[in-house]
Chain A
Amino acid sequence: MRSSQQRRRMVTALCAAAAVVVVAGCGAGSRTGAETAAKVACDFAKPAQAVDVDVLAYNSSAIDPFTNTMIKSCSKNDVTVKHEPIDFGGQVQKTTATLAGETGTYDVVETYGFVIPKYADKSKLRPLDDYFTKFSAEYGLDKINKGMREAMTYKGKLYAIPMQAQMLVMVYRKDVFDGLGLQPPKTFEDMRQAAKKIQDAGTIKYPIALPLKASADIVTAFDATLGSLGKNLTNPDDHTANLDSPESQKALEQLISLKPYLAPQVTTFDQPAVQQQLYNGGAAMAIMFSGRMNDLVQQSNSKFYDKFAFAAPPVVDGGDVRYNALSVDGWSIPQNTQVDPELLFELIAASVSEDASKAAIPAAYPARDGMVTATSSPYAAAAIESVNAAPPAEPYPWTSEISNQITPVIASVFIGNVSVADGTKQMQEIAKKVLADYR
């Protein structure tokens, strides 16, 4: 008995040791950037003493090339660029936390047009205009699309250097659509009909996949629907909201009308979950940000990799404006960083330089002019078509605050806990309260 116990202990110990050996054998400690990372010029002056630069950026195949380029090209001359993998939800939470205090953990943060006004309004980010002028020639910054720079501008000051644009793109399973003689849908009504046909054919139970996570993505979907119906969230001139408008009601109803074709647990799905549905063959069409599209056509991710085709997203109900949201991703420098901002700016500039941007194609839609053509990637044509038919941005400091606060209401309406009429009333009340602070 004694010996059998000892033997068993030996075996467990050996198993544990073996596991360690296997893992350690794979080149412990080496850090390699992804193959998309470019080695570019990053010519900052050597700082007086060694500095660590902490970068906060969520992981996706569209963001990673820029992050990895920064790490790979700028970790030298006593500067160490550090980045920890994190999901999008984590980035949102950490951005709030790091910008809040007198000092923060991060020195460079990934931001997007939607949050710039909020943080700029509270002076949480540094204006970058002076550096932009200074380094424009060296890093070719003037080639960064002007419209995208404007998306990162608040009250005339630039708060982030754009790296790329993301717009909603529709992806569909060409084999399924062709098999049933379907065309990519042009309106929500088309989409419902196509979904119905696919459902009836019996292979795919929930043909439409949308990211509608109740704590986050669902508000983007609402905003895109409302935009396609021709309404904005708020009117900046008289500080009023449009959330109890007929369009707002209709937007909610339109989203709800898709429910029979969406997976029942769709309110827990973020974009990676939608990707997973597509990888698994669980859905025949989806609408997501373009930055998530390149993953779908990778053979290593899914056996359906060569079955996906892309189109611009449909309009909700006629008109030219599509179910779309245009988002510009970029790099910002927090007000509370201890690192020399000029040095940080050079890191940023290098990571969006021409070579770096080129290396990010096809995963991303870089912010530089003349980079993306219809043949740059499988989804590029759809992205270009999409970008020209997006609702206008609403770059006001209250936009993200209102969006955050109405998110649970939209979720409750979508789930069916609250009626559409009550929901729009509640949203309008919330927006009024927020807007009152900005008068």
Chain B
Amino acid sequence: MRRREFAALVWPSLLVMFGLLMVPLYRTAEWSFKDVDYGESGTFVGLDNYQQALTDERFGRAVLFTVGLTVAVTAVLLVAGYLLAVMVNRLARTRPLVLGILLVSYVVPQVVGASMFSWLFDDNFGGMVNYLINSLTGLEIHWFTDPWPNRVMVGLNVVWHMLPFAMLVILAGLQGVPEEIIEAAKIDGASPLMRHVHVIIPSIRGVLGFVAVIGVMDVLRVFDQLIPLSPQAEQIGNESIMLYIFNTAFRDGGQQLGVGSAINILMIVIILLMLSPFIRDMAKEARKS
């Protein structure tokens, strides 16, 4: 392909990406050094916003909560996704039905799914889960006001939404495992558990890594779910970084826009750092080919 052809084919997409993503991004960077509100040009304040963000305890809690949630959810996604994929992999006729059912939580808009999810746990909505737990154990769990139960509920919801994706990608990976190596392991007398641990899992390491990367990228940006699920996020330390940005830079007006923008920039830096190994590998591979 000639360079001119390449340019001709690529420019509309580049125009959209640079025009509609780069320009806003530049403005966020600019805002992060300013005391500014929407519709104003603002005054330059140097690194004040960054200092304020980094010394704000609430931001520290948000980072801690977000990172903790990311680690926990990603781990659960890998384990549960794998188990589910192994089970679904054994299905024959019922597979399309089961996959269809499992996909439901993936295709429902997250905020809508989370609203419906919250009603299961909310006494004012009949709280099915509370009702079950209460009739079985007599316990009364405060899902919305106690930090840990709330974290569990939020985590469950994120898993609920992302599990189908993890399961499907792992399922595809399982289907790529050559029959022969499993047979060989069987002949060697490996138990089913051993087969999974020593043969199948190592051979789909790449796929599991992919699920982990996507999991990390998406859970770090968790936002929608918290609107219905954690109405008291700030008080119980369950504010995600994105929710913190929303609360500071939008919900109560834009007086704190500068600080919100600084946090945006900090988050981009964190994400870039996390992605850097992949970017390096991509570049390396490209040089090779």
Contact = CB atoms under 8 A, between A and B. Distances in A.
Given A273-B124, A404-B252, A264 B235 contact: no
A204 to B, nearest CB: 13
A269 B96 CA distance: 42
Given A1-B93, A5-B96, A276-B124, A100 B37 contact: yes
A267 B145 contact: yes
Interface string A7-30: 010001000000000000000000
A276 B127 CA distance: 13
Contacts of B93: 1, 4
A214 B78 CA distance: 36
B251 A93 contact: yes
B142 interface: yes
A264 B251 contact: no
A126 B213 CA distance: 53
A213 B124 contact: no
Contacts of B254: 100
A268 B145 contact: yes
A101 interface: yes
B9 interface: no
A85 to B, nearest CB: 15
Contact of A280 (B38, B124, B140, B235): B124
User: In which size bucket is the chain A interface?
Assistant: 20 to 34
User: In which size bucket is the chain B interface?
Assistant: 20 to 34
Interface string B142-178: 1111000000000000000000000000000000000
Interface in A237-281: 263-265, 267-269, 273, 276-277, 280
A96 B253 contact: yes
B252 A96 contact: yes
A33 interface: no
A5 to B, nearest CB: 6
A264 B252 contact: no
A215 B234 contact: yes
A297 to B, nearest CB: 19
Given A101-B38, A277-B124, A280-B124, A267 B235 contact: yes
Interface string B196-239: 00000000000000000000000000000000000110110000
A282 interface: yes
Given A8-B96, A100-B39, A268 B231 contact: yes
Contacts of A268: 144-145, 231-232
Contacts of B124: 269, 273, 276-277, 280
Which label, helix, strand, loop or mixed, suits the secondary structure of the B interface? loop
Contacts of A230: none
B193 interface: no
Given A8-B96, A215-B234, A265 B142 contact: yes
B209 to A, nearest CB: 33
A276 B37 CA distance: 38
A412 interface: yes
Contacts of B39: 100-102
Given A1-B93, A96-B252, A267-B145, A408 B37 contact: no
A415 interface: yes
A333 interface: no
Contacts of B145: 264-265, 267-268, 415
A268 B235 CA distance: 11
B253 A411 contact: no
Interface in A401-419: 404, 408, 411-412, 415, 417
A97 interface: yes
Nearest to A4: B93
B252 A214 contact: no
Contact of A282 (B37, B123, B234, B251): B123
Contacts of A4: 93
A277 B37 CA distance: 40
A269 B123 CA distance: 11
Contacts of B38: 100-101
A280 to B, nearest CB: 7
Contacts of B140: 264
B154 to A, nearest CB: 14
A101 B257 CA distance: 14
B232 A267 contact: yes
Contact of A214 (B123, B125, B232, B253): B232
Nearest to B37: A100
Interface of A: 1, 4-5, 8, 12, 93, 96-97, 100-102, 213-215, 263-265, 267-269, 273, 276-277, 280, 282, 404, 408, 411-412, 415, 417
List the 8 closest A-B pairs by CB distance, nearest first. A276-B124, A96-B253, A265-B145, A268-B231, A268-B144, A101-B39, A214-B232, A264-B142
Given A265-B142, A415-B235, 10 more contacts: A97-B253, A214-B234, A215-B232, A264-B145, A265-B143, A265-B145, A276-B124, A280-B124, A282-B123, A408-B234
Interface of B: 37-39, 93, 96-97, 100, 123-125, 140, 142-145, 231-232, 234-235, 251-254
7 contacts: A93-B252, A100-B37, A215-B232, A263-B123, A265-B142, A277-B124, A415-B235
